[in-house]
């Protein structure tokens, strides 16, 4: 039995998988000569991916071969969709798509599957440990600034920098909790969040 073709743009694509979905545009039917295309721009690095569609009656069908998506660079992409006909062009949709790495093509070097938030969190943890260890030994070394992924934090003393880094670490911990909950729900598992219920005693 063939797989059901989605009728919405997927939130995620896996590099090396076939990408397929069908879109119906009442005002821009394919049977009237309208063509639908997608432009994907990676948020870091500016990589551009162009996806064309084919006519399927009045609908627009995306069917990108696995051999083509294998070259897609994993990351988060901003997306715009356009309906075109001769000299006319209209933007009909915008959104985001995450392209996930192909585990089967990892090779011996493996893959870093951490999200950007996880990478920053881990580097914050490492920086906090480094400063804390230096302070404990009485040799803080004057560490007063820290930079990662375009974020720069500078304070007048290692102690103040440690406070700022801890605040950032706690902020990213909350982001990761949301990511983990979303991943659990997508996999059909419980979100992992605790639900607190307050019982009111009868009067």
Tens of pLDDT along the chain (203 residues) come to 567 899 999 999 999 999 999 999 999 999 999 999 999 999 888 899 999 999 999 999 999 999 999 999 988 899 999 999 999 999 999 999 999 888 887 766 667 777 778 888 888 888 888 888 887 777 655 678 878 766 788 888 888 888 888 998 898 899 888 877 877 776 676 655 554 555 555 55
pTM for the model:
0.64
All domains in the chain, ordered by first residue: 12-102 (2.60.40.10), 116-186 (no CATH)
SS3 annotation, 59-78 = EEEEEECHHHHCCCCCEEEE
Closest to 13 measured CA to CA, from 83, 80, 82, 64: 64
Closest to 149 measured CA to CA, from 128, 121, 175: 121
């Amino acid at each position: 039995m063939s797989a059901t073709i989605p009728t919405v743009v997927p939130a995620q694509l896996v590099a090396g998988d076939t990408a397929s979905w069908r879109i119906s545009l009442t005002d821009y039917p394919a049977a009237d000569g309208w063509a639908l295309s997608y432009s994907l721009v990676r948020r870091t690095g500016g990589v551009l991916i162009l996806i064309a569609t084919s006519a399927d009656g009045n609908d627009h069908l995306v069917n990108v071969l696995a051999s083509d998506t294998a070259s897609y660079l994993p990351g988060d992409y901003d997306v715009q969709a356009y309906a075109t006909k001769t000299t006319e062009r209209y933007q009909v949709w915008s959104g985001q798509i995450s392209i996930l790495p192909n585990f089967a093509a990892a090779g011996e070097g493996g893959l870093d599957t951490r999200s950007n938030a996880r990478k920053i969190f881990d580097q914050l943890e490492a920086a906090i440990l480094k400063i804390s260890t230096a302070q404990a030994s009485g040799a803080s070394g004057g560490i007063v600034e820290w930079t990662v992924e375009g974020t720069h934090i500078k304070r007048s003393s290692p102690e103040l920098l440690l406070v700022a880094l801890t605040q950032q670490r706690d902020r990213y911990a909350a982001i990761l909790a949301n990511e983990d909950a979303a991943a659990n729900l997508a996999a059909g598992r419980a979100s992992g969040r605790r639900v607190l219920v307050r019982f009111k005693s009868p009067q």
